[in-house]
Amino acid sequence: MRATIIHAPGDIRVENVPAPKITASTDAIVRTVAACVCGSDLWSYRGVLPVAEPQPIGHEYVGIVEEVGSDVSTVRPGQFVIGSFVASDNTCPICRTGYQTSCRHAQWVNGAQAEYVRIPLADGTLVAVPEQPAEDLIPSLLALSDVMGTGWYAARAAEVKPGSTAVVVGDGAVGLCGVIAARELGAERIIAMSRHASRQKLALEFGATDIVTERGEEGVARVKELTNGIGADSVLECVGTQESLHQALQSSRPGGNVGFVGFPHGSQIEGQELFFSHVGLRGGPAPVRAYLPDLIDRVIGGRINPGKVFDLTLPLDEAAEGYKAMAERRAVKTLLRP
Amino acid sequence: MRATIIHAPGDIRVENVPAPKITASTDAIVRTVAACVCGSDLWSYRGVLPVAEPQPIGHEYVGIVEEVGSDVSTVRPGQFVIGSFVASDNTCPICRTGYQTSCRHAQWVNGAQAEYVRIPLADGTLVAVPEQPAEDLIPSLLALSDVMGTGWYAARAAEVKPGSTAVVVGDGAVGLCGVIAARELGAERIIAMSRHASRQKLALEFGATDIVTERGEEGVARVKELTNGIGADSVLECVGTQESLHQALQSSRPGGNVGFVGFPHGSQIEGQELFFSHVGLRGGPAPVRAYLPDLIDRVIGGRINPGKVFDLTLPLDEAAEGYKAMAERRAVKTLLRP
């Protein structure tokens, strides 16, 4: 089959490799209908994470179940499924609290930018769509596999409530999905921090009420101006740098909440700063699995259309260009069709 | 009047000084009925904080209003009052969200270990008890001024809910009050981390269901054993060291919450550790003012008796011994009677 392999930073190739096989009785093999490139895939593409040897890449996918292991009972061949980027059993004590990405048996999905992908713990990980979805829903369903679920978790971790004010730090695909989530959870005012015209436009379409183009201290000051001088009730941190996390904490009102979903590479949080901020802080890899049934309903019902974050669609064989466009910020997010 | 002055680390003296006067029209002068020594007073006593020059000390107090400034309208001379250790206007946008210790006009109260104390922003800071309380209620009412309110905030920040499991890290006065708070907020299981027999006894009396004597990694392992292997729903961090904060984070289940009220001297929180923990973290100086009316009711109604944390009562003139006993861990908390 054709699969995307990262050989080294900047070196993405689509190659012929053996198709994956069932290796555990709880596995499923999914024929990928669509996959995409994640901001986190760019870490190795940019050399932030090392690439020790050529390896398959990709963890966002929708597709048709091709084959299941003997212990799989909740999905069957032929079904159109979506799964989280982390496989989970969905039954352990942690999964039952709704934090499936901390599942005792969690396994990170990999190799999804390919014609087929092996999904471990298929019963706990995959959710079947009631019927074969219309073609135009596929991008939005694909977005649920990571970015929309991650934006949703950012809003939940930031405790967005009806009538509240939310700030979204970061205008990448996750931040834009965070705007959708904040709107769906009832935020009355949604301030998107963005300096890119096309992303501002999408943020406004998704429900942002204000755009702040300033960053850092100036960005914080602007948010304060817009929030009665005290800061926002909820801040969704969707970047993942020391600076963006600091900006998020400063943009929250005392007693407010920051949800941080940008992976905080080497960030340190000053205990004393957090203490005096009175801000609640929760982060982590989004437990997408917990939200899939609800988010699938919202997509199929036409309430949300997160697939709009894909502004570049390419055949799988052109994955390298998909990475390049994102790395050069010519694209927000690339969808790949095998 | 007689007042406690710290001259240098280890050097506490009770001296004659001029009585405080109204300096702003929003001030009140309170004749102190009882004051006490805070764990945080020991920071300067132990030399953790510098003592540049002799200064008054103490921020926990109950007493009788002696005099009020011309703009004070909610308390009047003769009333028995309790106030927070931070004066707040209780009307600014931040106060209205319930975070009075972040009040825009916040001022830290000081000099309460004395016969009289000046309380700024009296209308926003002081709460009058309906009638002159019985003598045996005074220690518990005094505890509301800081430690009980702080334990309450720890439990609220840790989102203790009915039926949940809570861990209390720290068996000082705040930790012990945290046990009371966790019980009042409905925790079903309350695990107190303590290795002192007398404090364990009080923790059990206050509602702890389990005592864990181990610390650090061993303490975390013991908590996991007691919590289905996943950690507690809520952890109240009432110590304030890098180690205790780390222990608290590790003791929480994914998706649980840590409330940290021990001042985190120089602590650093690893963004990545917090991220993968999925734990919600909120700290800060407790907004005691928000809880005073409710906590006063609970004390007067006999539901809670936090005054039991005072295991040493001394005349004000013996404040130095009160500090020494706490610093040497001969006393949990010292009550001073002018």
How many CA within 13 A on the CB side of residue A250? 17
Which residue is listed with tokens 């009550």?
B335
Residue predicted with more confidence, B266 or A111: A111
- Asked whether residue A185 carries a pLDDT value surpassing 90, the answer given is yes
Q: Which candidate in B150, B261, B282 is best for mutational testing of the A interface (most A CBs within 10 A)?
A: B282
Average pLDDT over residues B193-203: 96
- pLDDT tens digits for range A38-89: 999 999 999 988 999 999 999 999 999 999 999 999 999 999 999 999 999 9
Angstrom CA distances, B84 to A16, A223, B126, B145, B287, stand at 70, 30, 7, 5, 8
pLDDT at position B63 = 98
| Angle formed at CA A181 by CA A65 and CA A216, multiple of 5 degrees | 120
- Mean model confidence pLDDT for chain A: 97
Task: Give the rounded distance of the alpha carbon of A227 from its chain centre.
Answer: 28
* A268 inside 8 A of chain B by CB: yes
- pLDDT tens digits for range A256-297: 999 999 888 888 999 999 999 999 999 999 999 999 999 999
What would the two tokens of residue B141 be?
């009412």
- pLDDT tens digits for range B35-56: 999 999 999 999 988 999 999 9
Name residues 4-63 of chain B within 8 A of A (Cβ).
none
* Backbone angle region of B78, left / alpha / beta, with phi > 0 → left and psi within -120 to 50 → alpha: left
CB A189: neighbour CB atoms within 10 A? 17
**How do the domains of chain B map onto residue ranges?**
2-146+287-337, 150-283
Q: Taking each helix axis from N to C terminus, what angle separates A173-184 and A197-206, rounded to the nearest 10 degrees?
A: 20
Residues across chain B = 338
**Chain A residues within an 8 Å CB radius of B43:** none
Give the CATH class of B150-283.
Answer: alpha beta
What is the rounded distance in angstroms from the CA atom of residue B223 to the CA atom of residue B210?
Answer: 10
Q: Which candidate in A49, A97, A261, A282 is best for mutational testing of the B interface (most B CBs within 10 A)?
A: A282
CA distance B276 to chain A (A): 5
- pLDDT tens digits for range A157-173: 999 999 999 999 999 99
What is the rounded distance in angstroms from the CA atom of residue B152 to the CA atom of residue B236?
Answer: 10
Of B99, B266, B274, the CB nearest to A278: B99
Residue predicted with more confidence, B25 or B265: B25
Third-level CATH fold of B2-146+287-337: Quinone Oxidoreductase; Chain A, domain 1 (3.90.180)
- Asked whether residue A246 carries a pLDDT value surpassing 90, the answer given is yes
Name residues 110-149 of chain A within 8 A of B (Cβ).
none
How many CA within 13 A on the CB side of residue A292? 25
